[in-house]
Amino acid sequence: MNQTIDVIKQHRTIRSYKDIPVQENIIEELLEVARRTSTSTGLQRASIIRVTDPGIREKIADLCQQKYVNEVPEFWVFIVDTYRNRKISEEKGYISMVGRDMDRFFQGFSDCLLMAQNVLVAVESLGMGGALLGNIHNDSQKVIDLLQLPKYTFPAIALAFGYPDQNPQIKPRMEMNLRFFENKYKDLSPYLEAFKEYDEAMQEYYDLREANKRVDSFTNQIVTRDKNQLAKRRYMLDVVEKQGFILKGDEFKE
């Protein structure tokens, strides 16, 4: 329908990049894109750490289990940032527990995701490519330590981007009638029947990560992923709590 929609529909995750830096005027434009993104109640509880230090990159690449993090020109970590607004409140003489509640946390987390997606679309519209990495949650605490994040902050997602050195196939996705409902949720049982066609499409797709090897069906992937889950990832909220956030409503005293 237009350039924007074409860009979005052409999205592929890029995991191999040319050794060409992203020009500073493009970085400036991407920051303007980040800045103009919707933000919960206007309070802008997201910040970005641009990781250029090769030592930090290497440690993040290790914990993410993604080697290309070492080589990609740009690597940005979007962080929930309620530290800044809390400091502002404190300097104004107002100290309360409210700035630490999970509502504030989720507002910041949402701001990060909206911002990362907008930057990714802008990146792709400029002929570059990128990858969103939730893998930083393999060890959120280590990311916090590496980036020297203060209390009341938390890494939400990372974005790697640059000029692509590969041209992957567009990955098959489930039909929207399996996930777009009217007025109420719709159970589609038996699911293995409903997903038969999609399972077949997925098995026709070749993943560049394992060239010439067919990928598993979607329904098999779910089980495999659950079986190979990194135990540390279950402790995400434990780390959030350690960062000073108050998880449950009843923990409030005022």
What is the nearest approach in angstroms of its own copies to the Cβ of residue 234? 4
* DSSP summary character for residue 234: G
Residue 63's CB is within 10 A of a number of other CB atoms, namely 19
Scanning residues 36 to 75, which ones bind its own copies (CB under 8 A)? 36-44, 46-53, 56
Judged by CB under 8 A, does residue 8 bind its own copies?
Answer: yes
Please state whether beta strands 129-133 and 153-162 pair in parallel, antiparallel, or not at all (unpaired).
antiparallel
Judged by CB under 8 A, does residue 208 bind its own copies?
Answer: no
172 touches 104 (CB < 8 A): no
Q: For residues 98 and 165, which CB has a smaller minimum distance to its own copies in the complex?
A: 98
Judged by CB under 8 A, does residue 13 bind its own copies?
Answer: yes
- Using the contact rule CB under 8 A, the part of the chain among 14-22, 63-71, 161-169, 226-234 near its own copies is 226-234
Judged by CB under 8 A, does residue 213 bind its own copies?
Answer: no
What is the nearest approach in angstroms of its own copies to the Cβ of residue 218? 8
Q: Which of 176, 179, 178, 166 is nearest to 206 (CA)?
A: 166
Show the CA angle centred on residue 83, arms to residues 91 and 93, nearest 5°. Answer: 20
What is the nearest approach in angstroms of its own copies to the Cβ of residue 74? 12
Site map (CB under 8 A) of its own copies, residues 163-202, x = contact: -------xx-xxxx-xxxxxxxx-xxxxxx--x-------
Judged by CB under 8 A, does residue 149 bind its own copies?
Answer: yes
Scanning residues 72 to 131, which ones bind its own copies (CB under 8 A)? 79, 81, 83-85, 87-89, 91-92, 94, 96, 98-99, 101-103, 106-107, 109-110, 113-114, 116-118, 120-122, 125-126
Q: For residues 25 and 212, which CB has a smaller minimum distance to its own copies in the complex?
A: 25
Question: d(Cα 68, Cα 21) in Å, to the nearest integer?
Answer: 15
- Using the contact rule CB under 8 A, the part of the chain among 14-22, 64-72, 161-169, 240-248 near its own copies is 240-248
Give 96-137 as a 3 state SS string. CCHHHEHHHHHHHHHHHHHHHHHHHHHHHHCCCEEEEEHHHH
Q: For residues 1 and 211, which CB has a smaller minimum distance to its own copies in the complex?
A: 1
80 touches 154 (CB < 8 A): yes
What is the nearest approach in angstroms of its own copies to the Cβ of residue 135? 9
Judged by CB under 8 A, does residue 29 bind its own copies?
Answer: yes
193: Cβ contacts below 8 Å, ≥ 6 apart: none
Question: d(Cα 220, Cα 29) in Å, to the nearest integer?
Answer: 41
